[in-house]
Structure 1
Amino acid sequence: MDSISKEEPVQIKSSIVLSALLIVLLVGSVYISQLIFQEISQTYHIDILAARNVFSLSCFFYAISFFIYGPLSDKVSTKLLVLIGSIGAVCCLLLSVIIDNFNLYLVIMSLIGFFAAAVPAALFAYTAKNTPNHKLSQAMGIMISASIVGIIFSRSVIAMLTDFWSWQVAFAIYAGLITIVCLFVPFSIKQSSHQSSTTSVLGTYLAAIKLLFDKTVIIFLSVGFVLFFVYLGLSSLLTFYLKSAPFSLSATVLGWLNFAGLSAVIGTIITSKLLQVLNERYLLIIYLLAIGASVVTIGYSSSLFIIGLGIFSLFLFVFGLQPLVIAMLNKIVPINSRGAISSLYLLSCLAGGSIGTYLLGIVYQNMAWNGVIVICVVLAIVNLILALVGIQLIKSNHRK
């Protein structure tokens, strides 16, 4: 507890500001293609639905890399992981603007996901392991808020810069922003004082794998998977839906509409406040019901204003739920597994988002927008059932 209290003032100073900026930019680098599928398809002369693979692969490698970097964060300096991730992402962004082969472009964009994951994985794991239970939701909320701002910022800014210049210029500018922030890493990122000295790297991976044999853990990881399958899959296809008739929106208008997603930051704040008066299990169910309602609002409205409200509420409840589920998972595993379980949860969420983007794209091709919405509503109901089962398992474990 003493080590935790010593770390708290640091989060008010320059190191936490820089950490937040790095998370904003590196998480954002994975999402930069989401609103510019049409422009990418025109550059490489491919079908617009094929362009969605740029995001799907980047997000998939980003997700998988969490499991690689999560256990490594117990053995390797946070500063080193941050620099490796940032420099690797910058190099890939710069390479992507000069590649003229789409398959090679897919490889480069996948590598952006791989390198970008190093930064949030290291910082999420450190926060989870060094925060007491009563402050865990709030601490993870801060980290998730930075991730959310990164998603919103990158998609909106890249869309607007693409309309103004080109996506190549937009990517180069984004690489420049990461480079500028990286200049301050040696001065502001503190050396981690919590590296494990008794467990091998292989041991940390084996301990993480053992968590997957816990039924309660599996259920809540599944909640994250299904949640992001719906959220990211729907968000990606919303680009196609709103760019076609009757809406026919430009990338710039989509960028402005995307700012409705900043409600996600509000969601994480609301969660920490509501937990002071509501049981986390009740709040989980309320949020999942609200997510289903948001999907219906987005899917069946013909008004752009109402769709914007639906996007606002979807982000609000999806990301309001994130610190809640992460905190619940961290409370049911040993403290020395908190870094691993946080990485596993983020892996589950992002794998769900990547697979959802791909599979719902196939549904969109064959069953149009209504087919996508029906499947998303069904999955929202499935997720509610999973959560109820998970809550019952937690209650029965407490009785024991």
Structure 2
Amino acid sequence: MRGVAITGVGIVSALGSGARVHQEALRAGRSGLRPLGLFSLAGLPALPVGEVEGASLERERGPRCLDLAMLAARQALAGADFSGSGVMALGTTTGGILESECHYLTHRGQEGAEERELLRHHSAGTVADMLAAKLDLSAERHTFSTACSSSANAVGYGAARVEQGAPWALVGGVDSLCRLTYAGFHSLKLLASDACRPFGRNRQGLSLGEGAAFLFLEHESRARARGAPILGYVAGWGCSADAWHITAPHPEGRGAIAAMQAALADAGLSAEQVDYVNAHGTATPANDKAEALAINAVFAGEGPLTSSTKGSTGHTLGAAGAIEAVFCLLAMESGHAPESVGLVEPDPELRVRHVPRGGVQAPLRVALSNSFGFGGNNAALVLTRSES
């Protein structure tokens, strides 16, 4: 990709709201993981999750995911020129399922049950529709639901459309915590009993999270013509589907390798030019091992600085790719590679160049962000500090 500039970002997670808040939290190595409080599940423990505090939300008449999305999208659109017909690409996996669950728990599927408005947003595609309507955006609307790579694919697709001539694109993702994902991951025995430890020797599993992030994209020439600050560039996008197993990654990381190599090829960059990798790093035994093998295959020698930020936010599922793309931008802007919060004793079998405790101050010009999902849905994004 060439000339796809990022001129606005917005983000909300368990760390708070806004880019500066997140930059400070990452630099401080802070975790937003706390015991689940949004809902209770009979018979299941309240494990640590990345839950967004109510004070951070803008309350809308709609699902919780719309509250999260509206907050992040408004931040990304501040000062933006979204005149003309652009593109909206949004990644999500849960949509309004939290509210659908509330309806079911109240009415148990009875015909003619009241509060049917709770069911209006069950379909994942309704989030983009409502967001566009509330923000008065004239845009094509595309929803990606490719498991944990959903919003990474949304960012890549929107960037491709801008490169092809779309005047602008609002891209990102959102997911809220809900009973379905919490109970589902618990049944798969993939949830950690305490805060997750990405790449750790004694890692037990992931910690779920929620949040939203959006990026406003436009061609560099358009941004410069209106004097907009350029925060960075989406330089490359790669995706693959290894289809190895419905929940497990390919044990040798073949799909992950293909996605990373495709993203680098799209950016016209070599692996040696990457300064930082924001790993998918879920802290599950299978994912971290497969991803480490994939990173070893793509990067020769010591490799780039690598960390997972899921110990800070939890795994935000469909929103993870967009949230971590913003983290890559913040890392390049500040020249600070964030640590993997929760990682105390690295697994010696996973040979990656871990960012040490406290983070690392270094020139960061090229960042690679990985997002790998169930079913072998893999995506990688290359973000750069400057077009050159």
Q: Same fold (TM over 0.5)?
A: no
Task: Report which of the two has the higher share of helix.
Answer: 1
After TM superposition, the score normalised by the length of structure 1 is 0.30
TM-score normalised according to structure 2 size: 0.31
Structure with higher strand content: 2
